[in-house]
Chains A and B, each alone.
Chain A
Amino acid sequence: MGEENLHVVENATCTFCGCVCDDQILTVDRDAKRITKVKNTCALGRAWFTEHAHEERPVALIDGKEASLEDAVETAAQILAEARYPITYGLSDTTCEAQRHAIAISDVIGGTIDTTTSVCHGPSGIAFEGVGESTCTLGEIKNRADLVIFWGGNPAESHPRLFARYAIMPKGMFTPNGRKDRTVVLVDVRKTKSAPVADIFLQVKPGRDFELLWALRALVRGGRISGDIEEITGIPLETLKDLAERMKNCRYGVLLFGMGLTMTRGRHFNSGALLALASDLNDFTHFVAKPVRGHGNVTGADNVVSWQTGFPFGVNFSRGYPRFNPGEFTTVDVLSRGEADAAMIVASDPASNFPGPAIEHLKKIPVIVLDPKETMTSRLAKVAFTTATYGISVPGTVYRMDDVPIPLRTAFDSPYPSDQEVLSAIEARVRDLRAAA
């Protein structure tokens, strides 16, 4: 029956990972509200689009009981307006339009706003504030890069199209032969599914990325390094020297790095070492670095929070103006120390991936959740909203991992409101409540 209503959406954007591929071609059955076919996609994108038949759930739950949208908004607003130390977290899987309202709410109620950046490339953000960054849009990698180094990441599984669409295979302006015009290096502690694409694979000892990067910096800058570098890092000095020379002599080099740096001992200093190495190399040739970002719009969250507050994540408004201090105002810390007395979680599931102490505290305080799906976090929520999914039923803007903003096209309508609609309703209500107070 749906056959007559098969509908094709071209240039659709996949928001599953930071690649934000905007060349997806969706075949949509609008009666069944299903995407039946996806072209130009990867395993993750196919699952993202085709597994997205929405669930039959109430639009809102209060204490696990079905509630009207209005009552849920009212209850959420009351909780937030009365809280002394409310925190809003998530935001990396929703549109910039929604993010703007989430920040407005935190501003109005004197709360804290943080995004999944703090447990993704937050440390790279801190590193950026120490050494800056030489970087580029993904198209520059496609057009120019003749040396591509992946460090501490496994794109083959986390960002499947990074290779084919942007970094290794594509033919570009100065890379007419695609793969043939590039040397590809992979640095990781284990041979991942990404290893086969590399011309050179360096297996660094676990937790020794910093030492390896630091030694490379010294080599590039002509500083001395001690002879036992192989014992420390697992990489022979000769191999390191060879890599340093390749880096100095390439035409346009790029370092793409993942959470193998940000989630290991050293965290922001690991990212800082890599960013500094890329900057150093510009004394010899053109060299850029780029953190490979995870969620569809985590980069948008960084951007919106930055332009509205001046800081990229972990921002506290309790004194009536924005303050930034990772480790103090970041969510894992605020929850683990038991400081927050209310939480609003937008499009994220901390109850399934935060450390135990943080989850324990979440269970103790009133939690508001906006999510298209039922999650471990929505299960412990005082107020849970079912919202429409961005990029499938909600239009808007997302930022690719290289800060390029890309519009979203919708495949089919959702019976549920968007995050933006719910958040703007809550914003309006908390403004009234705070004004009255």
Chain B
Amino acid sequence: MAETLRIINGRVYDPINGIDGEVRDICISGAKIVESVPKGGKTIDAQGMVVMPGGVDIHCHIAGPKVNLARKVQPEDHRYDVHPRTAFTRSGTGGTVPSSFTTGYRYTTLGYTTAMEAAVPPIGARHALEELRDTPVIDKGFYVLLGNNLLLYQLLSEGRHEEFLNAVAWWIKACKAYTLKIVNPGSDVPWKTKNNANITGVNEQIGDYELTPRKVVKALIDAANTLGLPHPAHIHCNNLGHSGNVATTLETMAAAEGERAHITHVQFHSFGGQLGKNPISAASKISEFVDANPNISCDVGQVMFGKSTVMTADAPLAYLLRNYTKDRRWVNADTECESGCGIVPFSYQEHVYTHTLQWGIGLELFLLAKDPWRMVLSTDHPNGGSFMSYPRLIRLLMDRTFRNEEIRKVNRKAMRKTVLLDDIEREYSLQEIAIVTRAGPARLLGLKDKGHLGVGADADITIYEEDDDKELMFSAPRYVIKDGRAIIENHEFRTDHEGRILHVAPAYDPDIEKTLRPFFDSYYSLQFDNYAVSDHYAPGAQVIPTGK
């Protein structure tokens, strides 16, 4: 007989099921939400509290090769933010790139129960999975980098579409990934062969390939949709951080031609102005396009002031940013045939024009969005700031007075380039917060059992004490329930929990190995037969179905 739990008297926010703050009971049996449970089981009285599904982070960097390099390179980031062991939980360190255990526990202390690592090179999949296994409590998965893959480029440029599609499926399955990720498509070619150059537009030819970023993006968007991945191609556009990149971003969105596509940390891609000059805000342009095109979804990638760590598969970007910080440290790591990454310790400051503008653009994107289901919350942790700053971001969205106070503190010149000085009235409701932090991301990820509290849903539930200070309210939930178990009760950890790996396993024609093997034998430094990741690395994983 499975353990049961009943949550009573709480105000429930469950946008997917159209429940907006009604007081009602939630019944849990085992790891699932059920219609009812027999009387007499364990009960939580949520009188005066807010009940929401567990938070879902659609885009963060928490595990894998580049994350671990970023940990290693910043001992000072950990030294003054330690995470002691408890009777139930392992110790670790925090900072902008916490250790694996601390990452899991800290997401839990915010009421988040699912998080997706957004960029892992295929060759590092095994590594990412090993780290995710040491990331407790939350369910987790990762997106595999295929946007600069040289074999895929070859197949695509030679018009071998069937093989291309099968190779994409093979790679996703071999890595146990959740979806495919595209980062600055085409950039690795000039980066590695032309004195660290970068791609400058979606229509520029990629090296000697008969390809452009637009063709690569379109082909991978189609592949993801043809394979019926629960979450579409997850795209980091070209020209991140460059003035005027809004044009590139709009062209990339248009390249989807109506097909489903997710544009990530869109704040970084919403710059107006002229290349080489100071950027200005083009948030409204992006906002209008997204509202008008339901096939497109975004996460914001909000910048929050303070310490951050730039860590990205967009190596040319990190190379550029290393000149914008006093820190001596710059990490670059090229990955054979597949990818690369760059890391720069960074911090966003209120008095710096560009930093403040980015902060403003992010807020604009939230406040202008007509459909919050397709403009969900992220800081591109830890690029825009740590996930630990989500509560503060929520307060900025929910509390107009607080927001205006903050706006007055920052670089005035930058604020004038946004609409924020017009005292925008919009304040996010609890329901809207539930959408951008849970229901929305879960729906975009195609996680049917997450992001809501209906019968059959995973019993991942967060219970907050209502408070006028929304930052306070969202930084310390009273209860966090994962898979039906109360992990946090009265703000304290009561037990440890593993959480599941989430991945997909699209079907492919086994003959594709005839195409892959020779390429591996020629250009890889490890054996084809040692490349694919075995189940040993994802015990108890949940395989999300693909296909229409």
Asked if residues A321 and B130 are in contact (CB atoms below 8 Å), the reply is no
Asked if residues A140 and B336 are in contact (CB atoms below 8 Å), the reply is yes
Asked if residues A322 and B193 are in contact (CB atoms below 8 Å), the reply is no
CA distance in complex: A166, B87 (Å) = 47
CA distance in complex: A399, B72 (Å) = 16
Q: Which of A279, A303, A324 contacts B68 (CB 8 A)?
A: A303
Task: Provide the residues of chain B in CB contact with A285, threshold 8 Å.
Answer: 195-196
Task: Provide the residues of chain A in CB contact with B334, threshold 8 Å.
Answer: 135-137, 140, 288
0/1 interface trace, chain A 319-342, chain B, CB 8 Å (1 if under): 111111000000000000000000
0/1 interface trace, chain B 358-372, chain A, CB 8 Å (1 if under): 000000000000000
Determine the residue in chain A with the shortest Cβ distance to B78.
Answer: A310
Interface segment, A30-38, A123-131, A148-156, A414-422?
A123-131
Task: Provide the residues of chain A in CB contact with B525, threshold 8 Å.
Answer: 137-139, 142, 165-166, 404
Task: Provide the residues of chain B in CB contact with A307, threshold 8 Å.
Answer: 63, 67-68, 71, 99-100, 130-131, 134
A386 to chain B, nearest CB (A): 25
Task: Provide the residues of chain B in CB contact with A205, threshold 8 Å.
Answer: none
Task: Provide the residues of chain A in CB contact with B328, threshold 8 Å.
Answer: 130-132, 276
CA distance in complex: A311, B85 (Å) = 16
Asked if residues A134 and B331 are in contact (CB atoms below 8 Å), the reply is yes
Task: Provide the residues of chain B in CB contact with A321, threshold 8 Å.
Answer: 82-85, 91-93
Given A104-B90, A310-B98 in contact, is the A137-B534 Cβ separation under 8 Å?
Answer: no
Determine the residue in chain B with the shortest Cβ distance to A326.
Answer: B75
Asked if residues A133 and B331 are in contact (CB atoms below 8 Å), the reply is yes
B103 to chain A, nearest CB (A): 9
Task: Provide the residues of chain A in CB contact with B95, threshold 8 Å.
Answer: 310
Interface segment, B19-27, B120-128, B464-472?
B120-128
Task: Provide the residues of chain B in CB contact with A317, threshold 8 Å.
Answer: 85, 91
For residues 343 through 362 of chain B, which have their beta carbon under 8 Å from a beta carbon of chain A? Answer: 343
Determine the residue in chain B with the shortest Cβ distance to A19.
Answer: B525
Task: Provide the residues of chain A in CB contact with B337, threshold 8 Å.
Answer: 139, 143, 173
Task: Provide the residues of chain B in CB contact with A404, threshold 8 Å.
Answer: 123-124, 525-526
The reply on B523 being an interface residue by CB < 8 A is yes
The reply on A107 being an interface residue by CB < 8 A is yes
Determine the residue in chain A with the shortest Cβ distance to B332.
Answer: A134
Asked if residues B99 and A143 are in contact (CB atoms below 8 Å), the reply is no
Given A13-B530, A307-B134, A403-B65 in contact, is the A129-B524 Cβ separation under 8 Å?
Answer: no
The reply on B305 being an interface residue by CB < 8 A is no
A432 to chain B, nearest CB (A): 13
0/1 interface trace, chain B 163-198, chain A, CB 8 Å (1 if under): 000000000000000000000000000011101100
CA distance in complex: A403, B69 (Å) = 10
0/1 interface trace, chain B 523-544, chain A, CB 8 Å (1 if under): 1111101100010100000000
Asked if residues B91 and A322 are in contact (CB atoms below 8 Å), the reply is yes
The reply on B292 being an interface residue by CB < 8 A is no
Given A135-B333, A321-B84 in contact, is the A286-B192 Cβ separation under 8 Å?
Answer: yes
Q: Which of B68, B100, B332 contacts A282 (CB 8 A)?
A: B332
Task: Provide the residues of chain A in CB contact with B192, threshold 8 Å.
Answer: 140, 144, 252, 286
Determine the residue in chain B with the shortest Cβ distance to A165.
Answer: B525
Task: Provide the residues of chain B in CB contact with A125, threshold 8 Å.
Answer: 72
Q: Which of B130, B332, B524 contacts A135 (CB 8 A)?
A: B332
Asked if residues A132 and B530 are in contact (CB atoms below 8 Å), the reply is no
Task: Provide the residues of chain B in CB contact with A407, threshold 8 Å.
Answer: 126, 530, 534, 536
Asked if residues B529 and A11 are in contact (CB atoms below 8 Å), the reply is yes
For residues 47 through 102 of chain B, which have their beta carbon under 8 Å from a beta carbon of chain A? Answer: 63, 65, 67-69, 71-75, 78-79, 82-85, 87, 90-93, 95, 97-102
A22 to chain B, nearest CB (A): 5
The reply on A234 being an interface residue by CB < 8 A is no
Asked if residues B530 and A310 are in contact (CB atoms below 8 Å), the reply is no
CA distance in complex: A344, B317 (Å) = 44
Q: What total of chain B residues lie within 8 Å of the partner, measured CB to CB?
A: 63
Asked if residues A322 and B127 are in contact (CB atoms below 8 Å), the reply is no
The reply on B413 being an interface residue by CB < 8 A is no
Task: Provide the residues of chain B in CB contact with A10, threshold 8 Å.
Answer: 529
Asked if residues A11 and B330 are in contact (CB atoms below 8 Å), the reply is no
Given A251-B193, A310-B92, A403-B127 in contact, is the A322-B332 Cβ separation under 8 Å?
Answer: no
Q: Which of B79, B99, B523 contacts A308 (CB 8 A)?
A: B99
Q: What total of chain A residues lie within 8 Å of the partner, measured CB to CB?
A: 67
The reply on B416 being an interface residue by CB < 8 A is no
Task: Provide the residues of chain B in CB contact with A320, threshold 8 Å.
Answer: 84-85, 91
CA distance in complex: A135, B334 (Å) = 6
Given A303-B127, A306-B68, A321-B83 in contact, is the A406-B332 Cβ separation under 8 Å?
Answer: no
Determine the residue in chain A with the shortest Cβ distance to B319.
Answer: A282
Determine the residue in chain B with the shortest Cβ distance to A313.
Answer: B72
Task: Provide the residues of chain A in CB contact with B74, threshold 8 Å.
Answer: 129
Task: Provide the residues of chain B in CB contact with A143, threshold 8 Å.
Answer: 336-337, 523
The reply on B329 being an interface residue by CB < 8 A is yes
The reply on A172 being an interface residue by CB < 8 A is yes
CA distance in complex: A304, B473 (Å) = 35
The reply on B335 being an interface residue by CB < 8 A is yes
CA distance in complex: A13, B525 (Å) = 13
B414 to chain A, nearest CB (A): 29
CA distance in complex: A309, B97 (Å) = 11
The reply on A96 being an interface residue by CB < 8 A is yes
Determine the residue in chain B with the shortest Cβ distance to A138.
Answer: B525
Asked if residues B336 and A174 are in contact (CB atoms below 8 Å), the reply is no
Q: Which of A107, A131, A306 contacts B72 (CB 8 A)?
A: A306
Q: Which of B75, B131, B333 contacts A129 (CB 8 A)?
A: B75
Determine the residue in chain B with the shortest Cβ distance to A144.
Answer: B192
Asked if residues A308 and B336 are in contact (CB atoms below 8 Å), the reply is no
CA distance in complex: A131, B74 (Å) = 11
Task: Provide the residues of chain B in CB contact with A282, threshold 8 Å.
Answer: 196, 319, 332
CA distance in complex: A282, B334 (Å) = 13
Task: Provide the residues of chain A in CB contact with B530, threshold 8 Å.
Answer: 11, 13, 22, 406-407
Cross-chain pairs A/B with CB under 8 angstroms, 17 sampled:
A107-B90, A130-B329, A132-B330, A133-B332, A136-B335, A143-B336, A144-B193, A303-B127, A307-B63, A307-B99, A309-B93, A317-B91, A320-B91, A324-B79, A400-B526, A403-B65, A406-B530
Binding site for B on A (CB under 8 A): 10-11, 13, 22-23, 96, 100, 104, 107-108, 125, 128-140, 142-144, 165-166, 172-174, 251-252, 276, 279, 282, 284-286, 288, 302-304, 306-312, 317, 319-324, 397, 399-400, 403-407, 435
Binding site for A on B (CB under 8 A): 63, 65, 67-69, 71-75, 78-79, 82-85, 87, 90-93, 95, 97-102, 123-124, 126-127, 130-131, 134, 150, 191-193, 195-196, 319, 328-337, 343, 522-527, 529-530, 534, 536
